[in-house]
Amino acid sequence: MITILVKDLRQRAKDSTLIVFAIVLPLGMAFILNAVLGGAGGEFKARYAVADADSGAGNAGFVGQVLEPMRESGVVTLRPVATAEEGRALAQSGQVEAVFVIPANFSADARAGRPATLEIIGSVAAPVAVQVAREVGQSYAAGLRSVQLAVVAASPAGTAPDGERAAQLAERAGSLPMPISLREDASAVRRQLDITTYYSAGMAMFFLFFAVVFSISSIFDERRAGTLTRMLAAPISRPAIVLGKLLSGVLVGIVSMAILIVVSTLVIGARWGDPLGVAALVVAAVLAATGLMTALATFARTAEQASNWQSVVAMVLGIFGGVFFPSAQLGGLTALGYLTPHKWFMQGLADLAGGGSPQAVAVPVAALLGFAVLGGALALARVGRMVHA
């Protein structure tokens, strides 16, 4: 078995087709998808402009208390403009996503309880950033409205407080703590891979099924060349021949996955998670792919037939496993993803996202090993059909 393994590894190292399917294609597809779709799932960033036609304290309150903290946290960038027309031109040209237009007398009107309008000019090319700007403006307006209601409620019925009294009441109302606070519990939120890691992992898992095929198809090549007859004539058991072939596929799969992980991390910034957890997932995924592809090959008569069947099965499993797009987009067929190793591999990486420990991947690794045992047992049971003179 070791002799067969070493011989196959020497042949695999010289096989340019294997290198293409195991390394070049998955890396190339990951780079392309990350370049095309990399901005779709990143952190929210927006470029806003502010047209200030008011010099009152209300403007300072909105800009200083709302927009400036957002800028300091890196969520948005702020660009002052002289007029609303200048801001509109920037939005139309795509230089900013939205413009906050603060009109004259905005502060005085807001303090006096008169209608005050905060205008937002948005770019049609950035609906998410525009919606965020709208929500920010509406939240600020709701805060002013709540203060005004508190001032009226604290005043005697039928009377309006004077300016000084109203200012005192407004200050007291504004200093009160929020009656309801929101607290996020991250333990109840499913972790999710970023776009770069998602496509790097998806392409690695998809092409893994093609990489392990080469070791399996070599059995057919040995039979066609006549060397399989020589091995069967020697004191070598058929399971030893198959295991030697499969071990070469397992090692090739692990090495190719390791290369993909290292290169995607260093070049495009993929974040795979805890190394121990990732290693467990990789080994289990390689075993699952090898077991399933070997079992499928035992039903084929020729190498060409086995390769065609394996390509179709690899494509179908990849689609339902969510390596090209999130499996949730399959609607009612989403549950079928759990019948694929791809889904469990991607879910395991998602569980590692955000600092998950290796214990977080126990269930995905067990599921992948289940595929490996199922496929391997079926392959060994039918080994005589594939390994014959």
List the one residue out of 297, 139, 289, 324 whose CA is nearest residue 212.
289
Rg (CA), the chain: 31
In CATH, the number for domain 46-188 is 3.40.1710
Out of 10-24, 131-145, 166-180, which region has the weakest mean confidence (pLDDT)? 166-180
Q: Are 216 and 382 in contact (CB under 8 A)?
A: no
Q: How far is CA 22 from the centre of its chain?
A: 22
Residue 273's SS3 state is: coil
pTM of the model: 0.62
- Which residue did the predictor score with more confidence, 171 or 146? 146
The full set of domain ranges for the chain reads 2-39+194-386, 46-188
**Which is higher by pLDDT, 152 or 6?**
6
State the Cα–Cα distance between residues 74 and 213, nearest whole angstrom.
Answer: 47
User: Following DSSP, what letter does each residue of 353-370 receive, concatenated?
Assistant: TTT--GGGGHHHHHHHHH
Check whether 316 has a pLDDT greater than 80: yes
CA 285 to chain centre: 19
Q: What is the mean pLDDT of the chain?
A: 78
Each residue's pLDDT tens digit, 273-291? 888 988 999 999 999 998 8
Q: Which pair of structure tokens corresponds to residue 360?
A: 């977080």
Residue 39: which residues within 8 A CB-CB, separation 6 or more?
195
The rounded Cα 335 to chain-centroid distance in angstroms is 19
